[in-house]
Amino acid sequence: MSRHDFAWSQTYAEWIDTKLSRSAFLRGALGIGAASLAFGGAAHRGIAHAEPSPLTSSRAAAGVDWGGLERRLGRPVTLASDPDYATAKQLFNTRFDSTAPTAVVRVTSATEVATAVAFAAEHDVVLAARAGGHSYVGASAATGAMIIDLRGLTGLTYRDGTAVVAPGLTLHQVYRELDKHGQTIPTGMCPMVGVAGLTLGGGLGFEARRYGLTCDRLVAATMVLPDGTTTEVSPTCRPELFWAVRGGGSHVGVVTSLTFRTCPATPKDVVELTFPGDLAAQVIAGWANWLRTAGRDQWADVSVDADGHGGLSCWLQLVSPARDGVRAAVELMTHTAKPLNVEYRSLSHLDAVAHLAGGTPPRAAFTCGSDVITELTADTIAAIVEAVTSHSRAGGTGWVQINALDGAVRDTGPTETAFPWRAHAALVEWGNYQPIPHERAAEWIAEAHSLVASASAGAYINYLESGDPLERYYAHNYAQFAAIRRAVDPANRIHTALTP
């Protein structure tokens, strides 16, 4: 997504020009493994509260006595009639500013989460949880749903290689806290994304080839089920739910804590390479060939951007252990092509995370989708490039970003967790940022899906598209996941933008 190719609003133009490079902007805006259905995260913004509403039974809306919940919680519930409603329901994606949840319930403890969920069950209210608000389909501000805002649940404790993390933390907060102990977990790069949503959907990032998905480092969790009861989940306690929360999204309950097995936080070399757009197919093929022999401690992704005039730009990011970036880049270039430009940085782990994140972008409208590619054949690569090229010819300025699904991602079997994509070549993300209208963006993404259909096995649940069948995200794990969901949520009380 080339920053100079967009007719940005003044806010975006100023921000991009002063803060970010092209690649950093893309990472900061969406990240690798951006938001999940209900928990995808933006950093907690200070909300200007109006005077507390009276905790009386007069607080009724949509046939529900919200005053009753307020009395149980000891604080107001935000309704459409309240002055801070617009802010309380706000997500990162401005496309969902018009959504109208029935109520927004801010919680500060696991007990309050259980209270809110039990209230929803008693009154047959559909609910969705939010720990940030980067959901690609706006699930955590769904019209008609009660939103449980988890951003008040913060904190992280670390001991002997294990971290217990509250669901309200963003990736930046998790990185920062673990770095104090010289530790980390493999996650995405967008600093505002919530750790809970990323984990529940899988979690793909620049440490994935070495340490696997974020959900692969999860060893236990605590969650509130749709009936309001609380349970621990682990390999020995409710193992069916532990299976479901590792890649199944937030469809079976509201997570109130996550326990991870951490890994060392080590310095990184970051190399960014830019190539001529007309060599995009060659670069993608070369990148795929390089992955076959590259060590697991090497990671790279490749992006192709439409310039809106029929042309493309192509760029690649490489992350390697410190002092190995130059050697790795030279090896990579022997597979790809001669770059137009190379930028090299050697950074501490936390500085590398900050650089890859690219800063904090302002709110904006965007539309994205994905395909999981079984094998990157020459025909499939040609189809990917054609999808972006045709969009560019039509005046579009979207992008495609391709990430590997190899290395440690494949150490876990395709049925061992709800995340099914353990034997596939790559995750392809299609995206458009403002000012491309949502309708045009969605039309192009549908066309892109069609072009790669013969090679696509499905899609990534953290990159949801409204109205998709559940099978597209769960593949061979769908029957097992659906059975678990029926057992814990027979009334379909947890909101989903996916069709059964």
pLDDT digits (tens, 9 = 90+) for 250-295: 899 999 999 999 999 999 999 999 999 999 999 999 999 999 999 9
**61 within domain boundaries:** no
Both 201 and 183 in a single domain? yes
Residue that the structure tokens 């806290």 belong to: 177
Question: Cβ neighbours of residue 390 under 8 Å, at least 6 residues apart?
Answer: 447
**95 within domain boundaries:** no
**197 within domain boundaries:** yes
Q: How many CA atoms lie within 13 A of 238 on its CB side?
A: 19
What is the C-alpha separation between 151 and 252, in angstroms, rounded?
A: 19
Q: Which of 224, 239, 264 is the last residue of a domain?
A: 264
What is the C-alpha separation between 32 and 42, in angstroms, rounded?
A: 14
Token digits of residue 403: 């990430």
What is the C-alpha separation between 310 and 307, in angstroms, rounded?
A: 7
Position 250 scores a pLDDT of 87
**473 within domain boundaries:** no
Rounded to whole angstroms, what are the CA distances from 254 to 173, 225, 391? 20, 7, 39
**108 within domain boundaries:** no
Convert 87-125 to b/e letters by CB count within 10 Å (16 or more is b). bbbbbbbebbeebebbbbbbbbebebbbbbbbbbbeeeb
Both 213 and 247 in a single domain? yes
Q: How many domains does the chain have?
A: 2
**What is the CATH classification number for the domain harbouring 201?**
3.30.465.10
Q: How many CA atoms lie within 13 A of 408 on its CB side?
A: 21
Q: Which of 220, 244, 264 is the last residue of a domain?
A: 264
Rounded to whole angstroms, what are the CA distances from 478 to 137, 474, 475? 20, 5, 6
Both 234 and 340 in a single domain? no
Position 433 scores a pLDDT of 81
Domain range for 250 is 156-264
DSSP strand pairing (127-130 vs 146-149): parallel
Position 400 scores a pLDDT of 98
| H or E stretch at 103 | strand 103-106
**Which stretches of 185-298 are assigned E, i.e. beta strand?**
218-224, 230-233, 254-261, 263-264, 268-276
Position 132 scores a pLDDT of 78
Both 410 and 339 in a single domain? yes
Both 242 and 289 in a single domain? no
483 C-beta neighbours (distance < 10 Å), count:
11
Radius of gyration of the chain (CA): 22
Both 341 and 213 in a single domain? no
472 C-beta neighbours (distance < 10 Å), count:
22
Region of residue 245 (phi > 0: left; psi between -120 and 50: alpha; otherwise: beta): alpha
Q: What is the largest CA-CA distance in the chain?
A: 71
Both 335 and 195 in a single domain? no
CA geometry: angle 328, 305, 381, nearest 5 deg: 70
| DSSP for 380-410, written as a single string | HHHHHHHHHHHHHHTT---EEEEEE--GGGG
**16 within domain boundaries:** yes
First-to-last C-alpha distance (Å) of the chain: 34
Both 308 and 290 in a single domain? yes
Q: Name which of 390, 405, 406, 401 is nearest 284 in CA terms.
A: 401
Q: Name which of 488, 484, 71, 446 is nearest 243 in CA terms.
A: 484
**472 within domain boundaries:** no
Both 180 and 282 in a single domain? no
Both 163 and 288 in a single domain? no
**What is the CATH classification number for the domain harbouring 304?**
3.40.462.20
Q: Which of 205, 240, 264 is the last residue of a domain?
A: 264
Series of mean pLDDT values for 10-residue runs along the chain (500 residues): 30 34 38 32 28 38 87 96 96 94 97 98 95 89 95 97 97 97 95 94 97 98 98 98 96 97 98 98 98 98 96 98 97 97 98 90 92 98 98 95 98 98 98 89 97 98 93 97 96 87
**277 within domain boundaries:** yes
Both 191 and 219 in a single domain? yes
Token digits of residue 155: 């904190």
Both 395 and 408 in a single domain? yes
17 C-beta neighbours (distance < 10 Å), count:
11
SS3 204: coil
Residues, the chain:
500
Position 497 scores a pLDDT of 84
